[in-house]
Amino acid sequence: MILLIRGRGIARGVGSGPLLVSPVPVSFLSGVDPASGIIVEKGHPLQGECIAGKVFAFPYGKGSTVGSYVLYALSRNGHAPAAIINTEAEPIIATGAIIGEIPMIDRIEIPMNRLRSGVMVFVNGDTGEMRYDGDFL
């Protein structure tokens, strides 16, 4: 099933890839390795997963403002997510997505916990839309 899901555009651009859904917030400062894109936060449900090239969906960011620079470093190192989807964007993640040129949307029409990791999605940060090509949980 292909579905067009509307949200709010945060960072311009388009990105696509397999979806990686986190049920909990993410700290990019010391939670994601900027050299590899691997989630290293101890106890995080996605610890050991790589966000590089994936559409990374998570409720919101947490932690220090340095998280914005980690997103920028991920982009410069070629290990950034293809796009970001948040339940509610907050300044740390939004700033990092903008300076790292990572397309980002939030406030999508369906609860994020219904999205399934591995499903191919296309995110348009200019229009705030996402094309979801798969089933829901």
Instruction: Report the C-alpha gap between 129 and 38 in whole angstroms.
Output: 26
Q: Which of 64, 68, 75, 117 is catalytic?
A: 64
Q: How far is CA 33 from the centre of its chain?
A: 15
Given a contact cutoff of 8 angstroms between Cβ atoms, the answer to whether 119 and 19 are in contact is yes
Q: Are strands 120-124 and 104-106 parallel, antiparallel or unpaired?
A: unpaired
* 64 is a catalytic site residue: yes
Residues 131 and 15 sit within 8 Å (Cβ to Cβ) = no
Annotated catalytic residues are 64
